């Protein structure tokens, strides 16, 4: 990555601050989140009306309305996922056989894909535009070498003069009524982003991404989603496919 522009790393305090509940033993660690969150000391996680955060000895977790148990991002799951992943569809689509390429994960979510690539040796920049998701992700990604987590709309990142070998795009798929329930992480992401004003046009995003990609742009899609023109090849899994657009 050529570092010619400074990228924003964290959000301003949101207009409606994120509620963060913490246990007394975590009082000191909780202060690190004061910039973006309203802090509340509690004995145990409370039922919430809006998505909130909870910090205890196990780390930071998400509390969602209607869910009794806090949801945690687990490094263990990523380790499990990364075993054999070098030969998997994601790594093949990103061209990891060519080496440890630098990656911009432009729609990072909980970072499952981006951090898997980081575990495989790639320096990864993760970009997320939802403040609560960003707070969870930047906390989770702290233990990963060679990663940075940015708070911004990826269109801004893709319009600067930074470049990466691979730009990876996984914007939220529109919900389909017939679909089986997605995994728990994706259900949470869907809920957390339901109010986001999405004006992104995938064709435009791919064009912007191609301006910043030295090697390729990889787009994660559901198997039956339409193909955006210009794709060079596809790698298909059981439920998703990766469309690859090579840099000129
Ligand atoms: C389907 S999820 C990504 C899941 C991710 N690949 C993972 O492994 O966890 C899409 C995420 O992209 C974020 N997003 C969508 N459009 C974005 C944009 N224009 N800029 C930054 N983030 C965006 C959403 O807030 C959401 O968290």
**pLDDT tens by residue, 207-220:** 999 999 999 999 99
pLDDT beneath 70, residues of the chain: 1-8, 173-182, 197-200
Among the listed residues 173, 172, 164, 171, the one whose alpha carbon sits nearest the alpha carbon of residue 146: 164
Among the listed residues 235, 232, 227, 234, the one whose alpha carbon sits nearest the alpha carbon of residue 247: 232
Question: Best substitution site from 147, 189, 194 to test ligand 1's pocket, by max atoms within 8 Å of Cβ?
Answer: 189
Cα of 200 vs centre of ligand 1, distance in Å, is: 11
In the prediction, which pLDDT does 82 show?
85
Cα of 153 vs centre of ligand 1, distance in Å, is: 10
In the prediction, which pLDDT does 3 show?
43
Residue owning the nearest CA to atom 13 of ligand 1: 107
Residue owning the nearest CA to atom 14 of ligand 1: 107
In the prediction, which pLDDT does 90 show?
97
Domains of the chain: 18-63 (no CATH), 75-246 (3.40.50.150)
Q: Does ligand 1 lie within 6 Å of residue 110's CB atom?
A: yes
Cα of 44 vs centre of ligand 1, distance in Å, is: 30
Strand-pair partners of 129: none
In the prediction, which pLDDT does 199 show?
59
Cα of 162 vs centre of ligand 1, distance in Å, is: 20
Q: What is the pLDDT of residues 133-161, one digit of tens each?
A: 999 999 999 999 999 999 999 999 999 99
Q: What strands, in cross-sheet order, belong to the sheet with 18-22?
A: 37-41, 18-22, 52-56, 59-63
Q: Does ligand 1 lie within 6 Å of residue 170's CB atom?
A: yes
DSSP 58: T
pTM of the predicted protein model: 0.92
In the prediction, which pLDDT does 2 show?
43
Q: Does ligand 1 lie within 6 Å of residue 150's CB atom?
A: no
């Amino acid at each position: 990555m050529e570092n010619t522009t400074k990228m924003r790393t964290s959000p301003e305090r949101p207009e409606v601050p994120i509620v963060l509940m913490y246990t007394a033993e975590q009082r000191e660690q909780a202060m690190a989140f004061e910039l973006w969150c309203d802090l509340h000391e509690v004995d145990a996680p409370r039922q919430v009306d809006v998505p909130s955060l909870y910090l205890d000895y196990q780390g930071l977790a998400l509390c969602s309305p209607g869910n009794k148990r806090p949801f945690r991002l687990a490094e263990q799951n990523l380790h499990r996922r990364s075993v054999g992943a070098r030969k998997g569809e994601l790594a093949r689509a990103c061209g990891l056989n060519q080496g440890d390429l630098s990656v911009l994960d432009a729609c990072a979510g909980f970072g499952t894909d981006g951090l898997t690539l980081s575990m495989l040796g790639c320096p990864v920049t993760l970009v997320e535009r939802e403040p609560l998701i960003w707070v969870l992700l930047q906390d989770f990604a702290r233990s990963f070498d060679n990663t940075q987590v940015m708070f911004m709309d990826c269109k801004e990142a893709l319009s600067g003069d930074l470049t990466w070998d691979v730009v990876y795009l996984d914007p939220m798929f529109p919900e389909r009524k017939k679909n089986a329930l997605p995994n728990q992480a994706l259900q949470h992401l869907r809920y957390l982003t339901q109010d986001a004003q999405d004006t992104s046009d995938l064709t435009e995003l791919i064009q912007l991404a191609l301006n910043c990609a030295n090697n390729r742009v990889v787009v994660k899609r559901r198997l039956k989603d339409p193909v955006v023109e210009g794709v060079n090849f596809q790698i298909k899994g059981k439920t998703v496919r990766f469309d690859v657009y090579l840099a000129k």
